[in-house]
Structure 1
Amino acid sequence: MPPVVIERAAVSYGRARVLDGIEVSVALGERVAVIGPSGAGKTTLFRLIAGLAKPIEGRVTTLGQDVSQLRGRSLARLRREVGFLHQQDNLIPQLRVVHNVLMGRLGHWWLPRALWSLLWPQELGRAMAALSRVELAERLWSLPDELSGGQQQRVAVARLIVQQPRLVLADEPVSALDLRLGQEIIGLLCELAGREGATLLVNLHTLDLLQGNFDRVIALRAGEVFWQGPPADISQHLLRELYGAEYRALHLDEMALPA
């Protein structure tokens, strides 16, 4: 079964439908970018896949599990297999880098070991190896506020590496970074997915990062799937229709794309 299957799913907050009739299937190992204007429902889609939101209609199957039926330990087991990288890196500022990286192992440990790790970091070699892969091995004992924004996001990627998720959801992970650092983080996520055989979905605000990184693009507008296809098929006409009033504000007319 594909790791993500969404069948006619809808999500409402109060009287507002944030997602409506979503039909999406993501293949094993596929790298998918999700794009769309503000308020299109991109973050809600990721929350739905992760089991953090429940559909009021339709069905969502993540890693073979119907998220509507999951509670307690079964939901915790799913979240252990799903790595979530947020717009903000969500590092704990009071904890050193090594502890923040090892947060990725909490779903694999019993509570006593997790508590002991705060005093004496467990699986230190695993944390060192993960930080080496993101070129931050020398910052093992640093505090997050001693790092740059790009370095903090790389620590968050190292946390994903030690978690070893089967599915990675990255919700606008580079929106606060410049293009060069954004390319670096997206490259690390794609490398992680490829090396570990994980499936990757990225909610992407910077469309310059689409080409060469993703197999498919899903475009949302007003809570519905507006378009999906390979990055090479995106045109200026498509972006104008998708983004509407945001098209020029985001400087999308400056992208080198077919008319």
Structure 2
Amino acid sequence: MESNPVFTLEKASKSFGNNFALQGLSLTIHHGERVAIIGPSGAGKTTLFRLLCGVLHPDSGTVNLFNHDTKTLGTSTLRRLRKEVGVLYQSDNLIPQLRVVHNVLMGNLGRWALPKALWSLLWPQELSCAREALRQVELEEKLWAMPTELSGGQQQRVALARLLVQRPKVVLADEPVSQLDVRLGREIIQLLSRMAQEQGNTLLVNLHTLELLEGHFERVIALKEGSVFWEGKPDALDEPLLKALYGKEYTGLYAH
């Protein structure tokens, strides 16, 4: 694993009105790591991800992306760096009016010139690239389908195929399985983990379903009330720690 950090946060804080989402958060994510972010509702997990990709800036402290302070970056530089960061949201964010092939090829928008991107809406460009990405998520036969014809799990796999086409250096997955059942959620996490390992990506996943931690992550960072509550290897988590972290939210779903 390379020692160069992808993200470095130093005493980063972010508030919305009188409510602190993050308070003095310091952490480092290195190239090639697979990290799960856990914590109760309102812990600051989504705000953290928005800081990491430069959508938000900290009110105090610093957030560095590839050794660049996001607060000091110009628009063009930040746009260039964001091309290296792929984001998977709770909902798949597919465009329902466009066929699967077009949604997948949107992973190329950071590299294509505008004329090529517009032409691709009429006549899909680099079709073999889209087909191969869909093959890797076992949806090659859905190349010309509309998103509305797919199940929730299939739509998330299309979003993963879009990331495969984008080939980002970093993948941020913000509770990507919260709307899926455990079986489908496990499939999506397995695909994300496999993609990260095969492409050498850095992977950060916000997870609420604790049983999906097993076997896919090297490190867990637990947030509570906007601060790091605990971090370590997944197998070091135990019931007393999780109860202290989640309080009344803890359901005992995670078991060794």
Q: What amino acid is aligned across from residue 136 of structure 2 in structure 1? A: R
Corresponding residue SS for 1:141: coil
In 2, Cα distance between the equivalents of 1:4 and 1:230?
19
- Residue number in structure 1 paired with 2:11: 8
For residue 107 of structure 1, give the secondary structure of its aligned residue in structure 2.
Answer: coil
Residue 243 of structure 1 corresponds to 246
Seen in structure 2, the aligned counterparts of structure 1 residues 70 and 125 have a Cα distance that, compared at 3 Å, is: same
Equivalent residues of 2:50, 2:56 under 8 A apart: yes
The separation in 2 between residues aligned to 1:255 and 1:68, in whole angstroms, is: 38
Say whether 1:177 aligns with 2:163: no
Q: For 1:194, what is the secondary structure of its paired residue?
A: helix
CA distance in 1, matches of 2:253, 2:180: 19
Answering whether residue 246 of structure 2 is matched by residue 256 of structure 1, we say no
Q: Do the aligned residues in 1 keep the contact of 2:6 with 2:31 (CA within 8 Å)?
A: yes
Q: 2:135 is matched with which residue? A: 132
> Contact 2:210/2:253 (CA < 8 Å) preserved in 1?
no
**2:71 counterpart (65, 68, 75):** 68
The 8 Å contact of residues 211 and 253 in structure 2, kept in 1 or not, is answered as: no
Gaps of 5+ in 1: none
State the one-letter code of the partner of 2:47. Answer: T
CA drift at 1:254: 4.3
- Provide the aligned length of Structure 1 versus Structure 2: 253
Shift of 1:180: 1.2
Matching residue of 1:210: 213
Aligned to 2:36: 33
**What's the CA shift for 1:15?**
2.2
Q: In 2, distance between residues paired with 1:74 and 1:191? A: 30
Amino acid aligned to 1:256: A
Which ranges in structure 2 are unaligned for 5 or more consecutive residues? none
The answer as to 2:102 corresponding to 1:99 is yes
TM-score, scaled relative to structure 2? 0.97
Percent identical across equivalent pairs?
Answer: 60
TM-score when normalising by structure 1: 0.96
Q: Write the mapping of 1:117-156 to structure 2, written as runs, cut at 5 A.
A: 117-156=120-159
